[in-house]
Chain A
Amino acid sequence: MLISKQKPLEEILSYLEGDKSVFVVGCKGCAEGWASGGEKQVGGMKATLQEKGKTVTGSVVIDMLCDATLTRLKLRAYRKEIAAADSILVLTDGSGVQTVAEVVDKVVHPGCNTLSSGGAHAEWKESERCLECGDCVLEFTGGLCPVARCSKLLLNGPCGGSQGGKCEVDASIPCVWQQIVDHLARLGRLDKLEMLVAPKNWSVSLMSGPPVKRYP
């Protein structure tokens, strides 16, 4: 089970600064279990965003957000509400945020940090989507994760070795930065890549040692 925790509200609001309206997505799986993006939290987030002057065009809580087929199907029923929103706020772990980014052509904002897989991994066949780094950067990378998918963990754009959509390290690895650029180009939001992304906080990642008192 992926263990996630909601980001501080100020951080979420900073992501939504340029957006008037938003669609909220939660998950009945891990995020419900860890109270970061279940029915209750999605309802709470809707109320909070409305209080802050945002229009919430709709919301949905999906059984398993990390399942692309299921998510695509479920979100189809909310086509109008999603089209009416400037962006989508996703309250779950990094895997689920990336599913939504993959199946909907809309800017997605991560509402949670993923702290740990709790000993297991979400169901993404063939590729790792989330490294449970604890300091989610999907806001700055078009909803695709370079921490899990770039060989050099680059946060500010592609390195000089990306050619023909492939990573220089191995031709079997798609260059995630090519995918990020393609995705944001499709959304007409390449401007998102002009911001300087600051050094990451690795102290909340499992790479800095076993998790201590980090869980909700």
Chain B
Amino acid sequence: MKTKSNLERVLESRIFAVTGELGPPQSADPEVIRRKAKILKGHVDACNVTDGQTAVVRMASWAACLIAKEEGLDPIVQMTCRDRNRIALQMDVLGIAALGMNNMLCLTGDHQKFGNHPTAKGVYDLDSIQLVKMVKDMRDEKKFQCGEVMAVEPHLFIGAAENPFADPFEVRAARLGKKVAAGADFIQTQIVYNVDKFAEWMKMARDKGLHERVRILAGVAPIKSVGAAKYMKTRVPGMDVPDGVVSRLQGVPKDQVSKEGIKLCIDIINRVREIDGVAGIHLMAIEWEETVPEIVQAAGLLPRPKFVT
């Protein structure tokens, strides 16, 4: 074990893992996080807390993580390169480890153009792959990016994201390989609606032996409405929503759509579970956290393992 991460224990025990996602509020209200954390507790092994997702100003991930941890979750701090240079990134890495966080997801970050401060200066001193390598060197070599040595290293379970649906498709598995070579312990993917394409990507990853070297969690999410499905299909960069998904939701009475969206999510979980090399799911029920217990239950993923620490 590299860390005290609950997620690492689950994955090392070869139990099919479940991670959740919690979006911090656009305010200083801690109760929002407590409410969401209470819903997720016992239903996920660890929980991502987003870091200014879509470049909208929200409570800092590390701060929201601290509150989520008080509520009994094993938080995954998300850290983007959009807002921090290598100095700030390393300071935050030391800080979150000192606060008792066990996991960190390394991201480049959504471009500032998409958020509520589109005139901001993007930083992008490092990219996500360089960030993974930097955190790994801090943990395993006790070295800062400059090469200087530290006294107490941050014990963090290192994650990265990958999008099997973005272009150029032919280099997607190679890019995953780079993240693994840089030191990623686990990968969470973009939301899977096109299971066939995801399976094709997993095959490319298996052909490179990457599923043996990193734990891959397939991203999944319930869809609330036909409008949301259409929006994701046409407006969200890097999303692949097949026509069949939209028509399945359109095919049920209006008051049944959200129920059908949940069923669809469960079906996708059952399908990705069958794909060789998939070590778990990352369930992103953003602003719809109350569906998580139902989905995890229906997918036969309860109870979640408990480890004596």
Chain A residues within 8 Å of B, Cβ to Cβ:
151-165, 168-170, 175, 177-178, 181-182, 185, 190, 193-194, 196-200, 202
Contact = CB atoms under 8 A, between A and B. Distances in A.
Contacts of B113: 151, 169-170
A132 B235 CA distance: 34
CB-CB nearest 7 A-B residue pairs: A160-B163, A168-B237, A161-B237, A156-B129, A181-B168, A160-B238, A153-B124
9 contacts: A158-B171, A158-B175, A160-B238, A161-B237, A163-B166, A181-B168, A190-B170, A194-B174, A194-B178
Contacts of A182: 168
A159 B130 contact: no
Interface of B: 81-82, 86, 108-109, 111, 113, 122, 124-130, 133-134, 145, 161-163, 166-168, 170-171, 174-175, 177-178, 181-182, 190, 237-238
A196 B177 CA distance: 10
Nearest to A198: B130
Contacts of B168: 158, 162, 177-178, 181-182
A193 B111 contact: no
A164 B178 contact: no
B161 A160 contact: yes
Contact of B166 (A152, A154, A158, A200): A158
Contacts of B124: 152-154
A175 B174 CA distance: 18
Contacts of A159: 108, 166
A176 B186 CA distance: 28
Nearest to B171: A181
Contacts of B82: 152
Nearest to B181: A196
A168 B166 CA distance: 10
B127 A155 contact: yes
Nearest to B176: A157
A158 B167 CA distance: 8
Contacts of B86: 199
A200 B81 CA distance: 14
A159 to B, nearest CB: 6
Given A162-B166, A163-B238, A198-B130, A152 B174 contact: no
B33 to A, nearest CB: 26
Contacts of A160: 161-163, 166, 190, 237-238
Contacts of B181: 196
B3 to A, nearest CB: 23
A7 to B, nearest CB: 21
Nearest to A159: B108
A196 B167 contact: no
A196 B132 CA distance: 11
Given A155-B130, A194-B174, A175 B108 contact: no
Contacts of A154: 108, 124, 127
A87 to B, nearest CB: 21
Nearest to A161: B237
Contact of B171 (A157, A163, A168, A197): A157
Nearest to A165: B167
